[in-house]
Structure 1
Amino acid sequence: MNNNNIDFKKVIIRYLKQWKWFVLSCILCIGLAFFKLRYTAPEYNAYAKIMLVDDGGVSNPAEELLKDLGKIPNTDSKKVEDEIEVLKSRKLMKGVVKKLDLNKKIFAKGRIHNTEYFPLKKAPITINFLVSDTLVDESKLSFSLYIISETTFNFIRLTEEEEEITKKGSFGKNIDTPIGDILITPNTNNISSYIGQTIYVQIRPVDKVAEIYRNAVKIKQAGEFSKVLNLSLNDNVIAKAKGVLDMLVEEYNRTSIEEKSAKSNNTAEFINKRIDLIASDLGKVDDEIEQFKTGNKLTDITSEANLYLKTNAQTEQDLAIARTEYNKINFMKNQLDDDSFGRVPANIGLTNGSVNSIANKYNELLDNRNRLLKSSNEKNPIIVNLDQQLLALKNSLREGLDNSAESASLQIRSLENQSAKISSKIYAVPGQVRKSRDIQREQGIKESLYLYLLQKREEATISLISTSPNAKIVDEANSTNIAVSPNQTITYFTSIIIGCCIPFAFFYFKDLLDTKIHNKEDLENVIKNITVLGEVPRLSGNDKHLIERNDRSILSESFRIIRTNFDYIRRSRDVENYNNVVFVTSTINGEGKSFVSLNVALTIANTGKKVLLVGADIRNPQIYSAFKKKNDKALLKIGFTEYLADKSVKISETINDYEINDISLDILLSGKVPPNPAELLMGDRVKDLFDKVSEDYDYVIVDTAPAMLVTDTLLISQFSGHTLFVTRADRTEKKILNFAKELHAENKLNNMMLIVNDVKQSNFGYGAKYGYYGKQKKKGLFSRIIKS
């Protein structure tokens, strides 16, 4: 089976063990349900049916106007949902409460349930308030009247501190109350029949009562797309429930008629105001268009924009030519900056012809000079003369280039200014176009809206304003006169469910928060790769804690099972050294390793084997305390500690023969608690001891220290062939078992096997379901009577 699957059978059995708590919880919940049914006032259901209707084909200018403007949805489904919300509004319900006086209750005391009078005119008394209705609607007051005679009564009121204030009053006379004076008069000619009875009066704020009924009224559509609405209300008084539903529909229709009338009047007033306003706006828009064209000197914006673009293109072209001319001049000037005689560029397209001719003449003289220099030197008078002419031409050329550069620069600046002016006019064109279109668009909108409102005003003038209600009554409020609450079947069924859920939740969360192991199965679920030899049952105070010869107790049988399983695993393993040496350890102290060590040794010795029990837990020795006798104290002087500390002590001097419950057993006690236990266990004499005893005995059971708390067990683990790791039910934490996993994974303890100690017999292995074989079964009283 997959480990992730839940064993439902096991889960059910675990909860069935707690059946007494489930039964007790169900009985208590059923009892509470009985008292609830007994003392809860019954509720009755009233229901009504209405249909939302249109205006009968008569158009409503207000609604048509808002629909055209997209301000209200034009779907029936949305309208039905909206009307449901209107019916459940606080405003409507407050009107219902005030008209039916629901904030005032008068009822007579009954044996189980009080009887409420509705409407109030059916009550034997009438209460008149001498203060404003606004104050009464916001007040809270409770009092009772005990009728003494036909003219007098006792007025009893509870204060906020629940103290009774009683005063005598008379019918027709004012009575002082916290909210003002009230006047109580009889409402029947036979008031004498109420003498000796108590009448209760309760006054609550209208807002709170309206909120209660607003939440209590249920409104649903009869179908998905239906306009028929079903209204229902549960109340202790049938007449009140029906009255509330009928009054709610009446208030809804009255409010809808008022809203339609107000909407029509407001619409007509709104249209007239808007027409006057839009007519004024149209005149302003026309003036704005005229001023815009006059101010910007515009006739046709598109034609003028095209002219600007052509002019700007020609200017840009001229500007490019001027800049090219300027660059050529600068190029020639750079060539003349050198003091040596070199050729200058000629015929590069300068517009100044004199500069070109000077440049050509300069280059010709330079060529002659260079030709003469081939056959002469620079001191030749002819060459000197040529040099003077070249310098003069170079200065003339430089002067001519400076003048041309100045002229080109002036031309460039002029063209740039002209281009900037044209560009600014071009950039202004889109804004002018946009402004012109905005004005035209505004003019078109105003004209369209003006014509639209004129049309709606004519429609409002010739149309009849509808004053029909929104709701048509299909069925007036009615009731079956059968109580719908509390439902006896549902109440008892719910009480049983709750009665089962309470203990279930308790035990579920108890198991959820449980972090300890409880039996062999829990241990196997946590540690899957280490063998669990068996379980040791929990013992009571009267049970024996050490097994005896020919013992048939469940303790003895559990250790026999452990012994059998251990022998089977021991034979299946190939252990070369110390195969008969068994270490017994645990994670922490208090898990019963000494108890397990002693009983395992006794169980094996009971088979006739020669067994030695070694108390190697020299920090906290517990072996001796399990079987000590008064005359055995002398044996405590020499033990495991003395052998390790004193080399003169022989092994034979530390081992003593014991007779425990008629079972012979050799025991090497721990001795005195040393100050340096870890250092002693690291000595060479430990190996000598285990080498000797492993040869002399069939089995050597070693009670060691807890492996998690101290290092003693790990220091001598090499001398063990097998290790029994003891855990304790209801004590060992599952997280702590990770330490055992690590020991096994790292092979720090040889051939680990697990034992679960102190297991409740209800959780004890598979036998928990069937009982212990050999144990006499308890017979019930009925069985014993039949047997006798």
Structure 2
Amino acid sequence: MALKQNNNLSNNSEDFNFNLKKTVSIYLKQWKWFALSLIICLGLTYINLRYTTPEYLAQAKIILLDDKENSSAAALKDLSLFSEGEDAMVEDEIQVIKSRSFLRNIVKRLNLNIRYYTKGRVYESELYKDSPIVINFIESDSIINSTSSNFYIEILSSSSFNYRINEETAPKKYAFGETIPTSFGGIIVTPKNKSIENNVGNSIRVNIAKIEYLAESLKNRVSISPSGKSSKVVTVSFVDPVIEKAKDIVNTLIDEYNKSTIQKKNNISENTAKFIDNRIRLVAKDLVSADSSIVNFKTGNKVTDVASEAGQFLNSSAVNEQQLDAAKMQLGQLNFMESTLDDETSMYSSIPSNLGSGDPAISALSTRYNQLLERRKALLKSAGEQNPIVLELDQTLADIRQNLQQSINNSTKSLRIQIGSLESQSRRINSKIFSVPGQERKLRSIERTRGIKESLYLYLLEKREEAAISLTATSPSAKIIDEAYNKAGGPISPNKQIAYAGALFIGLLIPFMFFYVKNLFDTKIHNKEDLEKEIKRITVLGEIPKIKGNNILVKRNDRSILSESFRIIRTNFDYIKRTRKVENYDNVIFVTSTINGEGKSFFSMNMALTLANTDKRVLLIGADIRNPKLLMGINNQKKNNEGKVGLTEYLVDKSVIVGEAINTYEVNGNKIDILLSGKVPPNPAELLMSDRMKPLFDKVSEQYDYVIVDTAPSMLVTDTLLFSQYAGHTIYMTRADYTEKRILNFAKELHAENKLNGMMLVVNDVKQANFGYGAKYGYYGAKKKKGFFNKRA
């Protein structure tokens, strides 16, 4: 099982093995068709190039400048309202350049809607700037720009011309300067003085096209692309039959773009200046209002400088607090002195003399009172309390005490009034101190608003000057690197190299595709190699070449290709015959095929003649009794018994012996015995199963060196299989360009089931181009045809 799988794998690998040499040789055999296709394609290409209008390429290079690279635009970049977040992309600018408005302006500036053509022998040529006439229109441009028309002007002389709408209409003669009525209004034809004389007799076609149509056409034909990724260098190119026209279109397109960008920037500058003027007036009003608010605030709050006055309030508050504390301390001292004086238990006690709180009267009375007390104490040591001096001192002390109380009361009232005044003043100062932050906040808010308005006012004044300057210093957005020029130095179309290369390619491709498709759908075999690929386990004896004419039978000592091919088959058969050990009927050779028309009878006759050429006794039996064809090869033999007694008669009539049915014929110098088929019977299959078949083959196999049996096709009828046991060897015929590959499966089945003994294959009718594994080698000793270049050799 494993061996079988390995064999299958090897067979599959052989099936898919690509043979380049063979594949190339398949197409090389058809070199005549390839040559014819190449000649036709190259000839058509030459004619096309000869009569095709050449086209030229005009190309220019520009660099797109950023607004920040323009000094005039830098002034406006700081304005957030007009500044862009980022530079315009190159692709966006390309779309702007190709916009319809630019292209319409180009058509109008160059008058491209009015074109003049002169007719040559094959095609028309445009007279871009060389037209000898000029067309002038009476109607407005808006009507002409939307008009589409054609007419012809034939110059008769320097003063007259013929006018016609088309080539078929009758011409009308007009003078130069005369008004010609048309469907779109009157036109006036004027000559160019320098060139009109040289164009007498010439016919000029005038074409008027719509502006919109031409703008759309230019949009599709103009090519604008960046030179590289992230590059601001842009290439502008245009292809046209007139190189000067192409250059003018490219240069005008760039000029229109620059004019448009300059106008756009000027408009922006003007609008910006107007906007700034309006803003300056509004900001000036706001600034005056802010100043008035500050004045009203200071006037209403009676302040000049809130910060300095706040400091003064703080100092005044501190002084007032000190004075208030001092007054309260003095009041406390007076209250203490008063409480001391009111205490009866301490009537003769000294009082503090330093608690007068600065009142000199109280201080003097307290000092006098303390002195008298000291004196009384001293007197009491030597005298009693009833002593007149002591009593006098007591009266004096009481008067002083009363005066002191009166002074203290007066000072207390005065201090309380002072303290109330200080406290009121303190509250007033504190109120002002508390109101300072709010006033300062309000003042700063007003001053901040004024500062913003003032800085914005100064900024707008500066920008107004810059905008005014930018109006006189606006630069274009595109800088020309290379003006339009003829890049190729000549026409780019038609490209002869590419055209001829394409013709060569197509000239080779057409026959290649034809034969490729033909081979792709080819289901027939063509030579020995194809047969060996389809059937790998059956020996292929050889190939028989395709023969033209009536010489289809080999001759004695013949050296033709046909004869040599049969000699090769004979040699190969003898080799195979020696390797096979066949006990019975080793010299009996059956010739069959799958279907009719594959050359069994042709092969049988020529194989018999080839074997007879070696002086062997050869018998040819026509066993295809349904459709006998052996007579076709011996029609020149005139015998009375020809066609009367054959195999059919032998099998039907038991009285007929073998010798009576066999006749000797001389064909092309070779003598062979032939047992013809005889008459066509009604029951050929049953007849071939006759018991007389075995004695027939037993006898002829003994009498002859070779017995060749021409049988019926094996797949169409069962005749051959009915008596195949009498075959020592079987030659199975196939025919090139006739036998289908799929029906060869029948031959495989016959071989696999051993229904035919010793099967060998032969390919018939092989074209000499496919002969010998696809190579045309010829035969040794055969005359060779001399080619054109070696005929004289």
Q: What TM-score comes out, normalization by structure 2 length? A: 0.65
- SS, match of residue 149 in structure 1: coil
Match of 2:229 in 1: 224
**For the structure 1 residues 599 and 479, does the alpha-carbon distance in structure 2 shift closer, same or farther, using more than 3 Å as the test?**
closer
Question: d(CA) in 1 for partners of 2:138 and 2:231?
Answer: 49
Q: What is the rounded CA distance, in whole Å, between the counterparts of 2:79 and 2:734 in structure 1? A: 88
Shift of 1:30: 4.0
CA distance in structure 2 between the aligned counterparts of 1:561 and 1:220, rounded to whole angstroms = 72
CA apart distance, 1:17:
3.9
Residue 150 of structure 2 aligns to which amino acid in structure 1? S
1:99 to 2:104 alignment: no
Query: In the alignment, which residue of structure 1 is the partner of 2:158?
Result: 150
Say whether the 8 Å CA contact 2:162–2:173 is kept in structure 1.
Answer: yes
Correspondence 1:756 to 2:768: no
CA–CA separation in structure 2 for the residues paired with 1:473 and 1:783: 66
1:410 corresponds in structure 2 to: none
8 Å contact 1:107–1:200 — kept in the other structure?
yes
Q: How does 1:351-750 map to 2 (within 5 A)?
A: 470-479=477-486, 482-485=489-492, 486-541=494-549, 544-629=551-636, 631-632=638-639, 634-750=641-757
Distance 1:561 1:19, change over 3 A: same
**Pair 1:154–1:776, CA change in 2 (3 A):** same
| CA spacing shift, 1:525–1:175, aligned 2, 3 Å | farther
Give distance in 2, aligned partners of 1:748 and 1:135. 95
Residue 754 of structure 1 aligns with an amino acid whose one-letter code is L
Q: C-alpha distance in 2, partners of 1:711/1:683?
A: 14
Q: Could you tell me how far apart the structure 2 residues matched to 1:262 and 1:640 are?
A: 116
| 8 Å contact kept, 2:527–2:773 | no
Partner of 1:200: 205
2:214 matched residue in structure 1:
209
Report the secondary structure of 2:666's partner residue.
Answer: strand
2:149 paired residue number: 141
Between the aligned residues of both structures, percent identity stands at 55
Mean alpha-carbon deviation: is it higher for 545-554 or for 252-261? 252-261
Q: Deviations over 1:542-593 (max 9, x none)?
A: 5x22222222222111111111101111221233343222211122222211
Q: CA 1:592–1:197 in structure 2 vs 1: closer, same or farther (change >3 Å)?
A: same
Answer yes or no: is 1:40 the counterpart of 2:60: no
Contact 2:25 2:774 in 1 (8 A): no
Question: Any residues of structure 2 matched to 1:230-241 within 5 Å, and which?
Answer: 230-241=235-246
With over 3 angstroms needed to count, the CA separation of the structure-2 counterparts of 1:75 and 1:527, relative to structure 1, is farther
Three-state SS of the structure 1 residue aligned to 2:643 is helix
Alpha carbons 2:67, 2:87 under 8 Å: kept: no
Equivalent position amino acid for 2:587 in 1 = N
Instruction: Kindly provide the amino acid, as one letter, of the partner of residue 588 in structure 1.
Output: I
The two structures, once aligned, show a CA RMSD in angstroms of: 3.8
Contact 1:615/1:640 (8 A) holds in 2: yes
Matched, 1:771 2:778: yes
Residue 755 of structure 1, CA deviation: 0.8
Counterpart for residue 404 of structure 1: none
The answer to whether the 8 A contact 1:62-1:263 is kept is no
Amino acid across the alignment from 1:615: G
SS in 1 for 2:165: strand
* Residue matched to 2:371: none
- C-alpha contact (below 8 Å) 1:61/1:460 kept by paired residues: no
Corresponding position of 2:65:
53
Q: Given residue 708 of structure 1, which amino acid in structure 2 is its aligned partner?
A: M
Supply the distance in 2 between the matched residues of 1:95 and 1:716 (Cα, whole angstroms). Answer: 98
1:9 counterpart = 2:17 = no
Provide the secondary structure at the position in 2 that maps to 1:617.
coil
| Counterpart code for 1:759 | V
Q: Distance in 1 between matches of 2:264 and 2:754?
A: 90
Amino acid at match of 1:50: I
Q: How far 1:479 sits from its partner (Å)?
A: 3.4
Aligned equivalent of 1:174, options 176, 179, 199:
179
Q: Does 1:125 align with 2:133?
A: yes
TM-fit CA distance, 1:753: 1.1
67, 84, 88: which one pairs with 2:94?
A: 84
Question: 2:257, 2:37 → 1: CA distance?
Answer: 50
Give the SS at the match of 1:637: coil
Distance 2:712 2:539 in 1: 21
| 1:248-267 paired onto structure 2 within 5 Å | 248-253=253-258
By how many angstroms is 1:4 displaced?
3.5
- Superposed CA deviations along residues 10-69 of structure 1, whole A, max 9, x for unmatched, are 44444444444444444444444444444434333322112223332516767879x7xx
Shift of 1:104: 2.3
- C-alpha deviation, 1:134, in angstroms: 5.5
Cα distance between partner residues in 2 of 1:539 and 1:164: 67
Q: Are the aligned partners of 1:616 and 1:704 in contact in 2 as well (CA < 8 Å)? A: yes
**1:217 maps to amino acid:** V
- Could you say what secondary structure the match of 1:634 adopts? coil
Match of 1:306 in 2: none
CA offset digits 1:688-718 (Å, max 9, x no partner): 4334433333322111111222222233323
Q: Which amino acid aligns with 1:520?
A: K
Distance 1:780 1:64, change over 3 A: closer
| TM-score, structure 1 normalization | 0.66
TM-aligned CA distance change 1:200 to 1:579, over 3 Å? same
Q: What is the Cα deviation at residue 536 of structure 1?
A: 1.1
The answer on whether the counterparts of 2:725 and 2:757 sit within 8 Å (CA) in structure 1 is yes
Query: Is the alpha carbon distance of 1:578 and 1:127 closer, same or farther for their aligned partners in structure 2, counting shifts above 3 Å?
Result: same
* Structure 2 residue 191 is matched with structure 1 residue 186: yes
Q: Separation in 2 of the partners of 1:114 and 1:513?
A: 48
Taking the aligned partners of 1:111 and 1:635, their CA distance within structure 2 comes to: 78
**What pairs with 1:271-420 in structure 2 (closer than 5 Å)?**
none
Q: Is the aligned partner of 1:243 residue 2:251?
A: no
* Structure 1 spans left out of the alignment, 5+ residues: 68-73, 270-456
Q: Which moved more, 1:256-265 or 1:16-25?
A: 256-265
Partners of 1:262 and 1:100 in 2: CA distance: 26
C-alpha deviation, 1:146, in angstroms: 1.2
* 1:208 CA drift (Å): 4.4
The 3 A distance-change label for structure 1 pair 540 and 110 is closer
Residue type matched to 2:543 in 1? Answer: E
Offset at residue 199 of structure 1 (A):
2.3
Deviates more, 1:463-472 or 1:743-752: 463-472
Which letter maps to 2:219? R
1:30/1:230 Cα in 2 relative to 1: closer, same or farther (>3 Å)? same
- Separation in structure 2 between the aligned mates of residue 728 and residue 172 of structure 1, nearest angstrom: 86
**CA-to-partner distance for each residue in 1:252-302, whole Å, 9 max, x for gaps?**
445567888999999x99xxxxxxxxxxxxxxxxxxxxxxxxxxxxxxxxx
User: Based on CA coordinates, which of the two structures has the bigger radius of gyration?
Assistant: 2
- Distance of 2:184 and 2:621 partners within structure 1: 92
For the residues of structure 1 that align with 2:101 and 2:718, how far apart are their CA atoms? 81
- Could you tell me how far 1:754 is from its partner in structure 2? 1.1
In structure 2, C-alpha distance between the alignment counterparts of 1:536 and 1:502, rounded to whole Å = 32
Q: Following the alignment from structure 1 to structure 2, what is the Cα–Cα distance between the partners of residues 59 and 750? A: 106
